[in-house]
Amino acid sequence: MKEKSEKKSEEDFSSVKEADSSSTSTSAYRKVLKNRDFVALWIGQGISSLGDWVTVGVLLDAVNRIGGETGLFFMMASRLLPAFLFGFATGAIVDRLDRKSLLIFCEISRAGLVILLAFSYSTVPICILVFFIECFSLLFAPGRDSSIPDLVKKEEVMTANSLMSTTTYLTMGLGTLFATIFLGLASVIYDSFPFIHHMVERHRWQYGFAFLVDALSFIISAALIFTITFPRRRGKKAKVKVKNVWKDTKEGFKFIRSNQLTKSIFITLIVGFMGGGALYILGAPFCEQVLKATGAKFTLIIASIMFGVVAGAVLSTVVVKKMKPEKGFGGAAASFGAIVIIFALVDYYPFSLVLIFVGGIFLGYLLVNAFTLLHLNVDKEILGRIFAAFQTVMRVCLFASTGLFALLGRLFKIWIPWTKENPVAKSLNLGFMTKSIYPATLAILLGGIIVLIAGCYSAWSLGKYFASRQVSGELG
């Protein structure tokens, strides 16, 4: 398998060069959007992703009403548990099954489970359903991502990834908006038809209505995927057995460890997401302590980074003309780390908004670049395992880092006992100015340094990997 995938890397690196000239303008997008099969997958995953985030938005409100903070904890744990249990193994299953059938099956299954959520009124059944919804999501994501090279030309992969990532991050914001719209519409219907009052309580009607409408998103996605003509896969797929899945999973781990390209990308992602978790868990305390930004001001910070991610995904096809993907990947990671460091040291809100938007641009470009490097340099027969590992690493590392930096935040509070009633800070005399240091400042500063180190490592490692192949003549 290693030799096969190494050969793939050698043959396909030339396509990165083709991408430099082919995917740098709006014409590149027009060309990809003329591909009926890719457009069906793109629109389908966009609608499906929107449905995912509508589900999350409605669940947060419903579970908070039903079970409070304890219910929210168990619900979120139910979303994360499948990745811990068998996130890596899902890739082996994806590589053994017909991807079209798998994607349709996952969408129909998620639709059915979301419909069941409409009739669930306690924490336990909701958590069970959320667990299984996430299981099918873990199968759907690598199946979708590994299908892209089957549907577009090599020189169009960067553009395709840009479109997919742009849609994904747009739907994260739009999902909560649509959840609000569905809940509001349900309330209007409830008030307009008094006979419903005798059948069900208002909040149960709202949640049930929202989930039933949301289920349609997965059905529409399945219908669009059904229209796609996937190319015939090489060879005959073996049966999905525990023994075979375990064997394939081990082979996937072996490939990631032995292949310098995938090892560099995964090390960068692991270290980067561990560091980036500081911003995720301590962003709100930092904004409160340093920027005095709460409520709408804080949500505007979140919106700024999300719009930045979308902008970065869109700009990725332009940047590739100036910078090769392997250099862009490490550079984007290092730049994001540097932005986080500067963000931690700034206490002027308008400038912080600009900084976090720019940081989002680097993050969006980083993610698109990671997908593109893997698509262009890894054999299709193992892509399912690679992308399952990719998704699992992001979930697990982000979850682990939130716990780590939450602990660090508390430890730093021992040294700097900041409270709302007594907002104290340490003073750092820089000679030309005095800088106030808060507990969240130190934690986010540390996270930024970690991401910066990961980016520098990636730039060095991937540069060395491709340079050695260029010198040996393997890349042509």
Using pLDDT thresholds of 50, 70 and 90, give the confidence band for residue 18: very low
DSSP tag of 199: T
Listed ranges 128-142, 376-390, 412-426; the one with the highest mean pLDDT: 128-142
Phi first, then psi: what are they for 232, rounded to 5°?
-70, 130
pLDDT computed for residue 40 by the predictor: 94
Average pLDDT over every residue of 443-470: 84
Q: How much is the mean pLDDT over the chain?
A: 81
The C-alpha atoms of residue 275 and residue 443 are separated, in whole angstroms, by 9
The per-residue pLDDT for range 210-222, each reduced to its tens digit, is: 999 999 999 999 9
CA dihedral of 121, 124, 127, 133, whole degrees rounded to 10: -70
**Domain residue ranges of the chain, discontinuous segments joined by +:** 35-228, 258-470
Lowest average pLDDT, out of 228-237, 297-306, 340-349, goes to 228-237
Q: Which residue has the higher pLDDT, 127 or 284?
A: 127
Domain spanning 258-470: CATH 1.20.1250.20: yes
pLDDT computed for residue 270 by the predictor: 82
Residue pair 361/311 in contact (Cβ under 8 Å)? The answer is: yes
The C-alpha atoms of residue 348 and residue 369 are separated, in whole angstroms, by 32
Using pLDDT thresholds of 50, 70 and 90, give the confidence band for residue 429: low
The C-alpha atoms of residue 323 and residue 89 are separated, in whole angstroms, by 35
Helix (H) or strand (E) holding 303: helix 296-319
Does the pTM exceed 0.85?
Answer: no
Q: Is the pLDDT score of 20 beyond 70?
A: no
DSSP tag of 428: E
The C-alpha atoms of residue 378 and residue 5 are separated, in whole angstroms, by 6
pLDDT computed for residue 248 by the predictor: 63
Positive or negative CA dihedral for 246, 250, 251, 255?
positive
Helix (H) or strand (E) holding 426: strand 426-429
Helix (H) or strand (E) holding 429: strand 426-429
Listed ranges 75-89, 166-180, 202-216, 369-383; the one with the highest mean pLDDT: 202-216
Residue 236: count of CB within 10 angstroms of its CB = 5
pLDDT computed for residue 238 by the predictor: 53
Say if residue 414 is exposed, middle or buried (CB neighbours under 10 Å; 0-12, 13-18, 19+). exposed
Residue pair 457/308 in contact (Cβ under 8 Å)? The answer is: no
The per-residue pLDDT for range 102-123, each reduced to its tens digit, is: 999 999 999 999 999 999 989 9
Cβ density class 273-298: b for 16+ within 10 Å, e for less: bbbbbbbebbbebbbbbbbebeeeeb
pLDDT computed for residue 203 by the predictor: 84
List of long-range contacts for 299-306, beta carbons under 8 Å, 24+ apart: 300/353, 301/352, 301/353, 301/356, 303/173, 304/353, 304/356, 304/357, 304/360, 305/356, 305/357, 305/359, 305/360, 305/363, 306/169, 306/172, 306/173, 306/360
Helix, strand, coil percentages for the chain (3-state, nearest 5): 85, 0, 15
Structure tokens at 236: 């005959």
Using pLDDT thresholds of 50, 70 and 90, give the confidence band for residue 95: confident
Positive or negative CA dihedral for 409, 414, 420, 422?
negative
Half-sphere exposure (Cβ direction) of 177: Cα atoms closer than 13 Å: 7
Lowest average pLDDT, out of 243-247, 295-299, 309-313, 314-318, goes to 243-247
Our CA angle for 404, 450, 138, nearest 5°, is 60
Structure tokens at 122: 């306690």
Half-sphere exposure (Cβ direction) of 281: Cα atoms closer than 13 Å: 23
Say if residue 199 is exposed, middle or buried (CB neighbours under 10 Å; 0-12, 13-18, 19+). exposed
Given this chain, do its domains 35-228 and 258-470 carry the same CATH topology?
yes
Residue pair 381/358 in contact (Cβ under 8 Å)? The answer is: no
Q: Is the pLDDT score of 61 beyond 60?
A: yes
What percent of the chain lies above the pLDDT cut of 70?
85
Cβ within 8 Å of residue 132, ≥6 positions away: 109, 113
pLDDT computed for residue 364 by the predictor: 87
The C-alpha atoms of residue 458 and residue 148 are separated, in whole angstroms, by 25
Q: Is the pLDDT score of 304 beyond 50?
A: yes
Listed ranges 5-14, 179-188, 297-306; the one with the highest mean pLDDT: 179-188
Residue showing tokens 């960067």: 158
Residue showing tokens 């990631």: 256
Using pLDDT thresholds of 50, 70 and 90, give the confidence band for residue 367: confident
pLDDT computed for residue 190 by the predictor: 87
The C-alpha atoms of residue 49 and residue 47 are separated, in whole angstroms, by 5
Say if residue 177 is exposed, middle or buried (CB neighbours under 10 Å; 0-12, 13-18, 19+). middle
Q: Is the pLDDT score of 28 beyond 80?
A: no
Phi first, then psi: what are they for 434, rounded to 5°?
-110, 125
Lowest average pLDDT, out of 75-79, 172-176, 366-370, goes to 172-176
Architecture of domain 35-228: Up-down Bundle (1.20)
Average pLDDT over every residue of 386-412: 78
The per-residue pLDDT for range 38-60, each reduced to its tens digit, is: 999 999 999 999 999 889 888 87
Residue showing tokens 């919106």: 303
